[in-house]
Each structure stands twice: as C-alpha cells, then as structure tokens.
Amino acid sequence: MEYFLQQLINGVTLGSIYGLIAIGYTMVYGIIGMINFAHGDIFMIGAFSGLIVIVGLGALGLGSAGGLIVVAIIGAMIVAAAYGWALERIAYRPLRGSFRLAALISAIGMSILLQNYVQLAQGARVKPLQPMIEGGFVLMQKGDFTVNLSYLQIIIVGTTIALMTGFSLLIAKTSIGRSQRACEQDMKMAALLGLDVNRTISLTFMMGAALAAVAGMMFLIYYGVIDFFIGFLVGIKAFTAAVLGGIGSLPGAMLGGLLIGLIETFWSGYFTVEYKDVAAFAILVLVLIFRPTGLLGRPEVEKV
Amino acid sequence: MTVLLDLEGVAAYYGAIQALNGIDIQVMEGEIVTLIGANGAGKSTTLMTICGSPQARSGRIMYAGEDITNRPTHQIMRMGISQSPEGRRIFPRMTVLENLQMGAAFGDPAHFDADLEEVFSLFPRLKERIAQRGGTLSGGEQQMLAIGRALMSRPRLLLLDEPSLGIAPMLVRQIFAAIKEINAAKGVTILLVEQNAFHALRLAHRGYVLVNGAIQMSGTGSELLARPEIRAAYLEGGAV
Ligand SMILES: Nc1ncnc2c1ncn2[C@@H]1O[C@H](COP(=O)(O)OP(=O)(O)O)[C@@H](O)[C@H]1O
Ligand SMILES: [Mg+2]
C-alpha cells in the first residue's frame, strides 16, 4: 500500500511532464495533420536554455533559487517558442501541400539536426544541476519505508494543472483559441473569414514549444541531469501519450500523459526497471492496432 | 452607379487544368448579379478566384478601385468581401454562436451584439439553435448559418455559392427572401451563383451565363429569362 502510494505520486509527476509535451504533438497534428517529430528536441532545447540561464545568473550570484527558476522558465519558453517558430517556417511550411511523407522526413531531419547542434555547442557529456528545491512531506512511514511527497513534486503537478487549465480555457474561450479550432476544422474556410492561417499555425507551434520548455525545466530540476539526447526518448513517450489519448484531442493529450507516466512508473516499480521503455512502446503498438483514434479521439469520418 | 467589382480577362487553373478562360464580369455597387451555368462550368472557381484561392493566373480583379488580383485570401476578405461558399463549410465542432463569432473575427467588437441580432432577425431559426454544434444542423439551417456568418463582418460585397443546393423548397423561398432583404435593406452588393436559374434570374438585376469557363451571355434578369436558349438549357425540366 505504501509502496503503491509512492509509485502513484512519482507516476503523476512524470505524467505531468509527458502531458505538457504531448499537448504540442496533438495541437500541431490537429491543425496541419503532421507529426512534429522534432518536438521532443524542442523540449530538450527548453531544458538546455533553462540550465544556461540558471548557471549564468547563478554564477553572477544573482537571485534566490525561486527567482532563478522563474526567470529560467520564462527564458526557456521564449527560446523554445523561437525555435518552434523557426522549425515550422524552415522545415514544414515549404512542404505544406506536398506529399505527407515529405514533412515527416523533414521532421526527422530537423530532430537529428537539433540534437547534433546541441551536442556540438554544449558537448556530449551529461550536464548536472545541483538540487534547487529540496525537502517535502513524509506522508506515511512503515518500518524503513517512507512515502515522500517532495515540494518539487507538488510544484510540478501544481504548475501542470494550472497550465493545462489555463491552456484549455484559452482554446475554448478566447478568439485565439477559436481561430485555432477553426483552422483545425476547415483551414480554407478560416482563410475565407479573413484569418491569416499561416500566423495561426506559427502561433500553434510556438505555444506547443513553450509548454514543452516548461516540461524541459521540470525535467531538468527533477532529475538534475540532462544531455542532448533526452528529447528522443521523452519525446517518443509524450508522442505515445498523445496517441493513447487520441491524437488531435487536447484533453486526450493530458489524460494520455498521465497514463503513460503512471504505467511507466508502476511497470518499473513492480516488474523491472530495465524494460521500462518497453512498456510505453508496447502501448503505442497496441493502441495503433486496436484503437488508432485513442481514448478521447474522434473517428476521421466527418472530413468533407 | 460605381463599379464595385471588375473582373477583366481572368484566367484560373487547378494545376495544369484551366477552369476559367479569361472572363469579364462587372458588379455595380448595390446590385444583385447572378452567375448561372451548368455543373462544372466554373462558377465556384469564379467566386474563389475573387477571394484569391486559386489566384488568377492572368487578367485583373479590381475591387472598390483597388487591384486585389495577387493579394492573399485573408487580406481580400478583410476589405469588405464575404463568401458563403459551396457546401456551406460550417465549422462542424463549433456552436452556432462560435461560427458567427468567427465571421466577426475582424470586425469592430462594438458592433457584435447588434450584428448578431440582425442575423437572428433574418434567420430566427439560428437563435433557437445558438448552442448547437454546426455539424448537427440540417442542411437548410447550415445554409442560414453560412450566410449569417458571412454577414457578421458587415460586408460590402457578398458572394453566395448555390445557397439553394440540397435544401427543402420551403426553405429555399425563405433564403431567397433573405437575400433580397440583405440587398434591399442593408444595401449589400451581391454576386449570386446558382444552378437554380429561374429563381436567381428573377431575383437578380443582371446575370451572366458561364459555359466551360467562359462567359457566353449576359443581360438583365428578365432579358435572360426571356431568351429561348436559356429557357431550353437551364429552365425547362430544371428545378424551379
Ligand atoms: N480543387 C479542384 N481541383 C481540380 N479541379 C477542380 C477543382 N475544383 C474544381 N475543379 C474543376 O474546375 C472546373 C470548374 O469547377 P467549378 O468551379 O466547381 O464549377 P461549378 O461551380 O460551376 O460547378 C470543373 O471542371 C472542375 O472539375
Ligand atoms: Mg460550384
């Protein structure tokens, strides 16, 4: 029971990170129907940008830990949004309307490019970060086993809930969100109503990238190490989360992220840590075979 | 009367296929002009080319004294041109209200409530369905919504593509009455594409007949209605 509770806490924390990244996959798919395989690397860029801000400002002796983190998150979101914007402009827009595989190949190419660029610029070794937020609550104790809920976990889950709520409201209630949904449902009609479709697509990439950057910061502080390759595995798991929830669906991405985080954590907790990545990929395969529309996705029938 | 829309020798293509073969159309401010022709003649392409999608490959499109031939669609649509397109293209997973809000996306927000009330007084049915999703409306309701959405930007020129297609005859009459009112009461200039030539020619001040991407004839509504070749090709045996 204690062990279960601890895994649950860890799983929800990890699921928050996956969920935030999954939103970017699902939004881009919703609007232009492509899988942005470089999205995981935008997450990685976000983590690196945050680390650079923290190390840089920390070296100057500026700011408290809390202040540093807030500045780093904002910096990481801006940098990642700029990369997201550039990615779409350079690698995807010229191929829009071309055959589907072209954009996919371009995305994989951009993913490799970003990884290699960061490897060259920052080196291949892992980058450590001193723990910045320590301590927490002991929820339960039985023998030597304690159930811990760290402050950091509370912050990660709390931030995720706040961001997801805010983002859902943005999509459902604001004119920006309405424009994005209009483009998703009928891009040609959206243009006939005066909408600058290219701008809306750019904005979608930037929003997804900014959320991935927040996830990157969480990953950095939670695990304390990053390298140029983190975007690959985390990216594929977040993609799996988006597919599990139903690609194109915003609540689906959030639910899928949570589920993948829980599944991975419980799998490592109860079976074997070595094969923890297999769990996520097995789910990807099973969903694609038995329920390609995912849990909350809608069938692709009403396209006119 | 001033010329609001002027197409001069406009040609349009889909890839290598030519759909418009150098057409000339003039629409005066305040007029209802109809464009009739058989299926595949290029009527929808004409309306879409005015909106820049596809862009005209040759010729010139003037609107309100400005050359809009090579402008992107969203810019053209912010100049006071609106379209209710073929197939209606209602956003299926948005409510009636949201669809109308999309129509007003670039208007003055201060006008929104008044414009919404005007659309509802033109099509009271829409008010009853305000929270219903577009995709679940009947064809006639969707057509009303498409026209209402096009009106929400307070257009000077309204392009209507086959508003009577696939709609129950009783609703067709209602929609044609609304078109007449939009023109007469609001002073909106209308370019109406129709296969239902009888209704369209009776309603319109002038008409053009499009055959295989070229204008074959033009004249006032009553002139064209009286032409035997029009009666033979588009009226007799056709839906009334
Ligand atoms: N998206 C498209 N791609 C290729 N050809 C098209 C497309 N739309 C229309 N056409 C062709 O262009 C011609 C004119 O079509 P259209 O303007 O839709 O005619 P109408 O509205 O008068 O029925 C037709 O031959 C049609 O097959
Ligand atoms: Mg047509």
Whether the CA torsion A248, A251, A252, A255 is positive or negative: it is positive
Residue A255 main-chain phi, psi, to 5 deg: -65, -45
CA of residue B47 relative to chain centroid, distance: 7
C-alpha to C-alpha distance for A107 and A239, rounded to whole angstroms: 14
User: Is-contact A212 A80, C-beta < 8 A?
Assistant: yes
Q: Is the CB of B45 under 6 A from ligand 1?
A: yes
B14, B74, B83: best mutation site toward chain A, by most A Cβ within 10 Å? Answer: B74
Quick check: B240 pLDDT over 50?
Answer: no
Question: Which residue type does A190 have?
Answer: A
User: What's phi and psi for B129, nearest 5 deg?
Assistant: -105, 20
**Cα–Cα distance for residue pair B197/B219, rounded to 1 Å:** 13
ipTM of the complex: 0.95
In order of their start, the domains of chain A are 2-290 (1.10.3470)
Dihedral sign from CA coordinates of A212, A216, A219, A222: negative
pLDDT value at residue B239: 41
CA distance B20 to B42: 6
Torsion of Cα atoms, B94 then B95 then B96 then B101, to 10°: -70
B20 CB near ligand 1 (under 6 Å) = no
Task: From chain A, pick out residues whose CB is under 8 angstroms from the CB of B98.
Answer: 178
Q: Which residues make Cβ contacts (< 8 Å) with residue B56, sequence separation at least 6?
A: B10, B11, B12, B20, B49, B69
Residues 6+ apart with CB under 8 A from A128: A224, A225
pLDDT at A94 over 80: yes
- Percent of all residues in chain A with a pLDDT value above 90, rounded to a whole number: 78
Query: What's B137's DSSP letter?
Result: S
Domains and CATH numbers, chain B: 1-80+157-240 (3.40.50.300), 91-154 (no CATH)
Question: pLDDT tens for residues B7-40?
Answer: 999 999 999 999 999 999 999 999 999 999 999 9
pLDDT tens-digit series, residues A133-155: 889 899 888 888 899 999 999 99
**CA B105 vs CA A195, A286, B152, B213: distances in Å:** 8, 42, 9, 33
Query: For residue B236, what pLDDT band results from cuts at 50, 70 and 90?
Result: low
| pTM exceeding the 0.90 threshold for the entire prediction | yes
Q: What's the pLDDT tens digit per position in A18-72? A: 999 999 999 999 999 999 999 999 999 999 999 999 999 988 877 788 889 999 9
The pLDDT value recorded for residue A97 is 84
Q: What is the mean pLDDT of chain A?
A: 93
Contact A185 B85 (CB under 8 A): no
Tokens 């424009």 belong to A179
- Is any Cβ of chain A less than 8 angstroms from the Cβ of B98? yes
- Residue A119 sits at the chain B interface (C-beta within 8 Å): no
Instruction: Determine the pLDDT at residue A302.
Output: 42
Any chain B CB within 8 A of the CB of A172?
Answer: no
**Which residue in this structure is represented by tokens 């009403």?**
A302
